[in-house]
Structure 1
Amino acid sequence: MSKKKLKKKRTLNYADVIVSFLVISIIGLIIIPLPAIALDILIVINLAVAINILLITLFTRSVLEFTTFPTLLLITTMFKLGLNMSSTRLILTAGNGGNVIAAFANVVAGSNYIVGIILFVIIMVVQLVVVTNGAGRVSEVSARFTLDAMPGKQMAIDSDLNSGLINEEQARNRRKDLQREADFYGSMDGASKFVKGDAIASIMITLINLIAGTIIFTMKGDLSIADALAQFGKLSIGDGLVSAIPSLLISIASGIIVTRSDNNSSFGLDIASDAVRYPVLFRIVGVILLVLSIVPGFPFLPFLFIGIGMFVASMFIKQTEQKTAIRRKEEEQKLALKRKKKEQEEDESVSSFQVEPIAIEIGYGLISLVDSTVDNSLMSRIVAIRKQTARELGILVHPVRIRDNLYLESNDYSIKIRGNEVGAGQIYADKLMIISPDDEPFPFKGIPTKEPAFGIDAMWIDQKDKEAAEIQGFTIIEPLTVIATHLKEIIFGNAPELLGRQEVQKLLEGIKEQNNVVIDELIPEILRLGEVEKVLQNLLEEKIPINDLATILETLADYGSVTKDTEVLTEYVRQALRRTIAAKYADEQKSIKVVTIHPKVEELITQSIQKTATGSYPVLKPDSVNQILEALNKIQQELTLKNIEFVVLTSPKIRLAFRKLISFNFPNMSILSLNEVPNEISIETVGTINV
C-alpha cells in the first residue's frame, strides 16, 4: 500500500475517533455544568454549524452528495438540546446565561422582552408550520415515489447495460446510487420529526426558564416579581433565540435538500438559469411597477427605480442571449464546413462507392440523434457497442456509417450489412418507448409498436407520461437505446459476416507481439489465412467468443497438419475452449441441464452423414426428420413452461451434423458434445430425444 493511501486511511480513522468523541460529548453537556465562557463558545459553534449545513445544501447538486444529512440532523438536534439544558442550568442557578444569550436578548428584543417573545413565537411558527411540515411532506412523498419507481429504474439500468451504453461496474454503481437515494428519502421522512420535536422542546425550555427562574429568585428574596420577570424574560428569550435561529437554518436546509432534483449544477446556478430563461417577464414586471409608481398614495421613487432596473436587466439578458446565439451559430457553421470538406475528400476516394460492412440509414426526423456535438448521441452509443462487441465476442467491428435517406419515412431507420438490409424499425426522437413486464395493456394514449430487437409489444408515449409509467412499473426505454439495442443484436447475430480476412489479419497483428511463435508456425506453413478465417467464422456462427485467440491458434497449429477440414478443426477448437463454452450455460452450482439423444437416434444420424464439398450433412428420410423435430419441439415446450434453460448434448461425431439438421427450425438452440463439457461441470438430464 502506498504512503498516500496509508495517510488517507489514518486520517479516516482519526475522523471516526473524533466524531465518536464529539457525539459522546453531547451527553456530557446534559450532565456536566458549563461555565459561561464555554457556553458562549459552544453556542457560536452551533450557529456556525447550522450556517455551514445550510450552505452545503445550497451547493450540492444531488442528494447523493449529502447522504449523511439525516444522521447529522439528529446529532445537531441533540447538540442544541444539550446546549439548552446547559444554559437552563446556568440561568436558573446564577441568573445569567452568558454574553451570547445576553447579546441576542438585547439586540433582538431591546428593552422590551414582550417584543422578543413575539419574535420567538413567530420563528417557532414559521419553523413548525411552514418549513418543517412542508419538508416532512415532501420527504414522505419522495420516499414513496422513489420506492415505487425503483423496479422501472432497475430495468432501465439493465437495458442500458444490455445495449452497451454502460459497463458492469457503471451499472453496479447506478444500482447502488438508486438504493442510496431510496434510503436517503426514507431516512429524511423520519428525521424531519427530530426538527419538529426540537422546536416543541425549545418552547417548553423557554417557558421553564421564564417561570422557574422568576419563582426561584423571587422566593429567595433576591428580586421582586417585576424585576424577576424582566430579567428572566430577557434571558429566556435570548436563550430561545440562540437555539431557534440555528434550528430554523437547519430546517430550511432540510427543506432545500428534499426539494432538490438531481442536476449537474448547484442550486444557485439552477435559479439563475431558470430566472433568465424568459427575459420578457422582466419587462412585464417593470411595466407593472412603473404603473404602480404613479398610483396616488404609493411611494414614487422605489417603484420607479426598481421598474427601470427590471427593464435594464431584461435588455442585458437579451444581449447576452444574442451573443451566445451568434457564437453557437458560428461554431455550427465551422463544424458544417469541416464535415462538408471531409465528405468531399471521401467522395474522391475509391471507397466512396463501395458498400460498407455495416451502415445505418435514417429518416430526416432522426437527424438530431446523430449530433456528434452532444455527449449522449447515436455516435457515442455506437462506440460503446463496438467496444462491447470486441470485449464479448473478440472481433473488431468496422466503424458504422450513418447517413440520412430521403426515401425513408421521417422516423424510420434501416440497418444494412454490406449494402443489404438486415433490420429496420421506427423510433420517435421526442417520445419514450415503454414495455410492460407482465404483458399488461398500456393505460396511455400513445403509438402501439413492436420493440425492433426482440419483437416485444411496446408503445411510444409522450415525455410528460414518463413519471406515471415509472410508478406503474413499465420499463422505459429512450429512443437512442432502442436503436442501439437493435444494432447490437444485429452485430451479434451477423458477426461471421463482419469477420473477413482483413479483420482476421488485424486480430493476428494485435496479438503477434505475445504470440509470434505460434502465428509464424501456423500461417502460412500449416494453414492459410482464409482457413483460419473460416474456423473463426464457424465459432461465431454458434455464438462462441474468439477473444482467446492464443488457445485457438495453438489448437489449429496442433491439428492443422493432420487435417485441413475446417469443420473438423472447428470441433477441435471447441473442445479446447470447453471451459469458455460450458461457462455460458452452467448455473451457479456449476451444473448444465441437458437434453440427450437416444442411442437409436444417434445411430440413425451417424449412418446418414454424407460428406460434400460444402460440409457434412445428415441425409434422412423426411418422416424421420419430422419425428426428430417433433420430439425436440415437444421437449422444448415442456421445459419452457417450467422455465428450464437447457442445451442438447450429443456425442462428438454427430454434434455438427445434428446442428445442421435442426438449425432451420431451431436456429438459437445450443448443441454441445460430451467433449465440450469439462469434468468440473456436472450434467443434469432433463429430457431425451426419441422417435
Structure 2
Amino acid sequence: MPLPPPSSAPRGAPRVTAAGAILSPAQALARQIAPRGERAEIVVTALVVAVVFAMLLPVPTWLLDLLIATNLCVSAFMIVLVMQVKQTTGLSAFPSLFLVTTLFRVALSVASTRQILLNGEAGHIIAAFGEIVVGGNLVVGLVVFLVLTVVQFIVITKGSERVAEVSARFSLDAMPGRQMAIDMERKAGGITQEEAKAQRDGLTEESQFFGAMDGTMKFAKGDAIVGIVIVLVNLLGGLSVGVLQRGMSAADALQVYAILTIGDGLVAQIPALLMSMTAGLLVTRVSKPTGGRAIGNELTAQLLHQPKAWVTASGAMLAFGLLPGMPLLAFAGLATGSAAVGLTMMHRKLKTEREEAQQREAVVEALRDFDLVRPFALRVSGRIDPERAQRALNLCRQVRNRLVRRLALVTPQIDFDADVDLDHADLEFCHGEVPVFSLRLHEDLRTCTWTRGDAIDLGLPADQIEPRGGLACAPRVWLPEAQALALDPKPTDLGDCWERLDELCEETLLRVGAMYFGMEETQKIAAWCNRKTPEVAKELERAVPSSRMAEVLRRLLTENVSIRNLPMIINALIDWGPRERDPSVLTECVRAALQREICDAHAVRKELRALMFDSELEAQIRAAIRQTAYGDFLALDADLTDAILDETAEAYLANHEGARLVMICAQDVRPHIRKLVADRIPPLAVIGMSELPPDFRVNVRSVISVPLDGRALPEMY
C-alpha cells in the first residue's frame, strides 16, 4: 500500500522514510535542519556573512551571550574531535574552519567592545569571567590573561608553526618518490588502478593540507597578538569614556571597564588557546600509511608498552616525597599508582608470553611466508672435508664464469649446502632444488666413456659405473689409473673426478641456463645500446619488441651460440625484425649473420667435421613438419624417430674421437633436427647450409641413412 504524501500526515505524527524507517518528530526536524548538499553551502555562506555583519552592527547582550557560548563550545568540540581523528588528513577542512573561527572571535571581540564602551556591560558570560574567574581583581585578571596569551603565542603557536612548516616541506619533497612507488606497485600488480588513483589523490591532499596548515599557524599567531591589542585598546578606551564622558573617577572607571575588559579578553583567549591546541595536536601526530588509531588510543598503547618505566618512575616519585618539606602523602599516592600500573602491565605481558609459548608448543604454527626455489645449488655430503667441498664449489662457479665469458650466458649464482646427508654420492648438483647429477669423488680413479661392450662385465662396483646418459648415451666407468691407461685404444675423454665434475656442471648449465635469460637481461642490453649508440637503440625499439628480442636471444643461447657480438645481432634484428614476426624464423636470420662465429666455435683450422642425413631422410623429415597456431613441430613415427637417433648416436660415437662434430642440413629443417637430437646428443651442434662461410671447409665424416620400410607419417586430427 503506498504511503500518503507528507502533507497528508497529521501534525505531530511519526514520519516514514522511503526505506520504511519510522522517524520521531525530533528526528524529522533534525533532518530538515541539518545542512546537506547545496543547503550546507548556503548555511555556511550565510554564517560567514553574519559574522561580518556582527562586526558592523550592534549585537544585543542576550545574543552576545549566545554567540560567546557557541564560541566556547565549538572550540571544546574541535579539540575533542581532533583527539578522535585517525589520520592527519581526516580533518582536511581544518585550515578553512580555523580561519572562520578566528574571524568569528574577532567579530565577538568587536561586538563586546562596542557594548562595554557604550553601555558599560557586555552580557552575563563576560561579567562572570571578570568577577568570578579572576575574583574581580584587575591585577589577577591581567596576569591570568598574559599567562594564557604567552602560552598560546610562544609555546603552542610557535612550535606548531615550525612543525607545520617542516611537514609541508617534507611532504612536498617526498611526493615524487611516493608517486613513483605507487606507480611501480601498480605495474607490479600489487594494487589496482582505482587504488593507485586513490593513493595519488591522498598524496595530493596531504601535501595541500600541510601547506595550508603552515599558513593556518600564522593565523593563530596573529590571533594572539590581536587579543593583546584589543585588551589594551579596551582599557584605554574604557578609562577615557568613564573619565571624560561620564565624569567618573579613574578608580571607578577602572573598576567598571577594566574588569569587563579582562573578562572579554579571557572569553576570547580561552577559545583561541583551545583552537591553537587543536591545530598543534593535528600537525604533531604521526600518521601511518595503512591507517592509524585515535590519539588517545595511541598514547595509551605506547605509554603502557613499557611497564618497567612505570615501576622506575614510582621510585623517583617516592624519593621526591621524602625530601624535606615535600607532601609525602601526595607523592606516596602517585608512586603507589605508578607502581600498580607497571606491575599490572608486567603481569599481563608475562601471561601473554606464556600463553603464546604454550600455543606454539601445542599447535603447529601456520606459516605466512615461504622461500623461493633456488635456481642452482651444490649439495656436499658431510663425509667430504671442508677443503674438498670448497674446491668443488669453486670449480662449479668457475664453470659458470667461463660460460659468462664465452657465451654471455649469465645464470643465477650457485648456492652451497654443506653437511648434507647423501648416502649414494659425495656431492649432488640441483636445478630448482631437483637433483640433476650426483658424483662420487674417486680421486684415485679415472673415468671415460665405455664403448667396448657391457660395462657390467668389468666387475666394477655399482658406484663406479654411471648410468647410460650424457655423451651419445654411452655409459661411463671409473677405473684404476693403471687399468685406464692400459686400454687399447686409449680413451679420448679420460679424466679424473674434478674434470668429470667440470664436464657435468657445464652440460647442466648449457642445457638449462638459457631459460633464465629474460626481459631483465634484454632491458640491460637495450640500455647498453642506448648509451653507446642512441640512434641504433631507437631503430631497435621500433623494429623488434623487447619480448621478441628476448625470445631470439634465448633461442641462441639454448643452442650454445654466443651473444657477445651484440652489434651484429642488433643489426640483424633491425634488418629482419620489421619483416619477420616469428621468433623461430627471426632466430635463423640472426644465425645467418653470426655464421662465422657459429662455425668457428666448432671448426678446427676452418675445417668442420660433419655428419649429414641423406637426401631421402631429410625429405622425410621435411614432410613431417606440421604448422599449428602454437608453432611448428615434427610429426615423425616413434619407431622412425628412435631409428634416426640410434643411427646418429652411433655415427657420432664412431667419428668424434675427441674432435668437435656438427650436423649439417638444409636451413628449413635445421631447427627441427636440432630439437630431434638435442636431448640424445647435447654436444652435437646443427648448422644450416646458409650458415657456412665460403672460406670454411666441410669434411663429411658420415652420411646417415635410415631404411624407411614403408613407415607412414602419423595422421593429424
Give the TM-score of the pair, scaled to structure 1: 0.52
Secondary structure of 2:349's partner? helix
The correspondence for 1:657, drawn from 574, 585, 609, is 585
* Unaligned residue ranges in structure 2 (runs of 5+): 1-16, 20-30, 376-414, 421-429, 437-514, 520-539, 545-554, 556-561, 595-717
Question: Match of 1:97?
Answer: 122
Instruction: Return the offset for 1:220.
Output: 2.2
- 1:140 is displaced (CA, Å) by 0.8
The answer for the alignment partner of 1:183 in structure 2 is: 208
Amino acid at match of 2:171: T
1:33 aligns with 2:58: yes
By how many angstroms is 1:221 displaced? 2.7
Partner of 2:82: 57
- Corresponding residue number in structure 2 for 1:276: 304
Q: 1:297 aligns with which of 321, 325, 332?
A: 325
Assess, with a 3 A threshold, how the Cα gap between structure 1 residues 163 and 32 changes in structure 2: closer, same or farther. same
1:313 correspondence with 2:341: yes
1:382-531 mapped onto 2 (5 Å cutoff)? 419=434
Larger Cα-atom Rg: 2
Cα–Cα, structure 1 residues 361 and 304, in superposed 2: closer, same or farther, change >3 Å? same
Cα drift, residue 271 of structure 1:
0.9
Deviation readout 1:151-179 (Å, 9 max, x if unpaired): 22222222322332222221111111111
Determine the C-alpha separation between the residues in 1 that align with 2:592 and 2:194: 38
Q: Which of 228, 235, 238 is equivalent to 1:210?
A: 235
In the alignment, structure 1 residue 173 sits paired with structure 2 residue 206: no
Q: Hey, what does 1:162 align to over in structure 2?
A: 187
**3-state SS of the aligned residue for 2:191?**
coil
Distance verdict in 2 for CA 1:173–1:331, change over 3 Å: farther
Of residues 103, 112, 120, the one that matches 1:78 is 103
Q: Distance in 2 between matches of 1:80 and 1:627?
A: 76
CA deviations over 1:233-275 (Å, ceiling 9, x no partner): 1100010001000000010111111111113111111111121
Instruction: Give the Cα separation in 1 of the matches to 2:103 and 2:355.
Output: 54
Is 1:324 matched with 2:352?
yes
Q: Structure 1 unaligned runs (5+)?
A: 341-357, 364-403, 410-414, 422-489, 495-591, 597-614, 616-621, 637-646, 667-691
Q: From 631, 650, 655, give the equivalent of 2:571.
A: 631
Match of 1:360 among 372, 377, 402: 372
- State the 1:35 CA deviation: 0.3
SS in 1 for 2:37: helix
- The 1:54/1:359 distance shift into structure 2, 3 A limit, reads closer
Change (3 A) 1:45 1:148: same
Q: Secondary structure at the match of 1:316?
A: helix
1:390 aligned residue: none
Moved more, 20-29 or 76-85: 20-29
CA shift in 2, pair 1:28/1:59, >3 Å: same
- The 1:661/1:335 distance shift into structure 2, 3 A limit, reads farther
Structure 1 residue aligned with 2:547: none
CA offsets per residue over residues 648-669 of structure 1, 9 Å max, x none?
Answer: 43267x7862255449999xxx
1:228-247 aligned at under 5 Å gives the runs: 228-247=253-272
Q: Give the superposed CA RMSD.
A: 4.3
CA change 1:626–1:211 in 2 (3 A) is closer
Q: Distance in 2 between matches of 1:163 and 1:626?
A: 30
The offset of 1:64, in angstroms, is 1.3
Cα distance in 1 for partners of 2:167, 2:216 equals 14
1:277-325 CA-to-partner distances (Å, cap 9, x unmatched) read: 2211112111122223233222221122211222111111112212332
Q: 1:416 to 1:245 in 2, by over 3 A?
A: farther
Q: CA deviation at 1:14?
A: 1.7
Q: 1:327 to 1:207 in 2, by over 3 A?
A: same
Counterpart AA for 1:314: G
* Pair 1:152–1:110, CA change in 2 (3 A): same
Quote the residue 1:68 is aligned against: 93
Change (3 A) 1:173 1:210: same
The AA in structure 1 aligned to 2:585 is A
Find the counterpart in structure 1 of residue 688 from structure 2.
none
Output the CA distance in 2 between the equivalents of 1:36 and 1:77.
Answer: 21
Aligned 8 A contact 1:359 1:417 in 2: no
- Contact kept? 2:568, 2:593, Cα under 8 Å: no
Change (3 A) 1:337 1:309: closer
Larger RCO (CA within 8 A; separation ≥ 6): 1
Answer whether contact 1:61 1:265 (CA < 8 A) is retained: yes
Contact 2:572 2:589 in 1 (8 A): no
Aligned to 2:158: 133
User: Whole-Å Cα distance in 1 between the matches of residues 331 and 593 of structure 2?
Assistant: 82
Paired residue type of 1:311? A
Paired residue secondary structure (1:650): coil
Deviation at 1:405, TM superposition (A): 11
Q: State the Cα distance separating 1:91 from its structure 2 match.
A: 0.9
Distance 2:419 2:580 in 1: 50
Q: Once the 2 structures are TM-superposed, how far is the Cα of residue 215 of structure 1 from its aligned partner?
A: 0.8
The CA distance in 2 between the partners of 1:664 and 1:43, in whole Å, is 92
- C-alpha distance in 2 between matches for 1:416 and 1:133: 64
Give the TM-score of the pair, scaled to structure 2: 0.50
Q: Closer, same or farther in 2 for the Cα pair 1:336/1:661, shift >3 Å? A: farther
Moved more, 239-248 or 262-271: 262-271
Q: Does 1:106 align with 2:120?
A: no
- Aligned counterpart in structure 2 of residue 221 of structure 1, from 236, 246, 253: 246
* Gap change, CA 1:3 and 1:491, over 3 Å in 2: farther
Identity %: 31
Quick check: 1:362–1:408 contact (8 Å CA) kept in 2?
A: no
Distance of 1:25 and 1:214 partners within structure 2: 31
- Supply the distance in 2 between the matched residues of 1:151 and 1:53 (Cα, whole angstroms): 33
Residue 491 of structure 1 deviates from its aligned partner by 11
Q: Distance in 2 between matches of 1:77 and 1:626?
A: 70
User: Equivalents in 2 of 1:239, 1:127: separation in Å?
Assistant: 17
Give the 3 Å change call, closer, same or farther, for CA 324–144 of structure 1 in structure 2: same
- Report Cα offsets for 1:338-394 as digits up to 9, x if no partner: 779xxxxxxxxxxxxxxxxx982489xxxxxxxxxxxxxxxxxxxxxxxxxxxxxxx
8 A Cα contact 1:128 1:196, kept in partner: yes
Q: Closer, same or farther in 2 for the Cα pair 1:338/1:186, shift >3 Å?
A: closer
